[in-house]
Structure 1
């Protein structure tokens, strides 16, 4: 985790990664099958919208033991089997912006590194820093573990 503050920019970055014994295609399919999130995802509980650059999503998150939050990010990048990236704002741009990044790095035929990052910027970031370090970081880890378990299950 990184926290940078100066007169122009307040930024904090969270980072979590996990190795998954599955193909990039399988991990991507799970990551972008938003309708299945309520069944397996303990952090991002629901998402509505299309996986398409420029699309505005409705995302409902709730890390374990924390309050739920709904926001409406816009997809910045949707590169199949490689990267999904969206940008959301709290109230208005510049106060508390979060760019959520999911990266799938192939390590072998049926092995990937799944990286989940979020870059927070804006004047309200210091107010939420403790919750980001505890609740959001915990949510990343829980989601990564759940994605790994789901991806490594045998296909029905």
Structure 2
């Protein structure tokens, strides 16, 4: 079973400014309504600790492995619930430079595993809303003068 959530937002800012906010993980508790914390050294191949709190859902902490870390462009990781194949999520942040003083921030996640159908409704509602709320806050911060 597979399921993908994809959200995006137009931000009037540079990739560099948006990236600096997005990768200042120590500041997440102060602004991020969805991802409450990211701990550990964020570099390809490393495992980190991520705590998320989708709207109207219980928080969850997991230890994904960093897949990509391309400065000012992309960050992605792969996490598992208990073990691989049960409920896996590949989370991705992308900053697309539109070349006109704006960027498109895309946040997506591909879910795979036998438990995906059980979580489908929550993913479509709470998780997607969490992505959208985080996107709006990032836009707000990145557009501040």
Instruction: Give the TM-score range, shorter chain.
Output: over 0.9
- Aligned Cα RMSD in Å? 0.8
Higher-Rg member (1/2) = 1
* Structure 1: runs of 5+ lacking an equivalent: 1-9
> Matched residues in 2 for 1:50 and 1:22: separation?
26
Give the 5 Å matches for 1:9-48: 10-48=1-39
Moved beyond 4 Å, runs of 4+: none
For residues 96-144 of structure 1, give each alpha carbon's deviation from its aligned partner in whole angstroms, at most 9, with x where no partner exists.
0000011000012531000001000001100110110111000000000
* Structure 2: runs of 5+ lacking an equivalent: none
For residues 46-73 of structure 1, give each alpha carbon's deviation from its aligned partner in whole angstroms, at most 9, with x where no partner exists.
1101221011110000022221011110
Give the 5 Å matches for 1:138-149: 138-149=129-140
TM-score (norm 1): 0.91
Counterpart pick for 2:124 among 113, 129, 133: 133
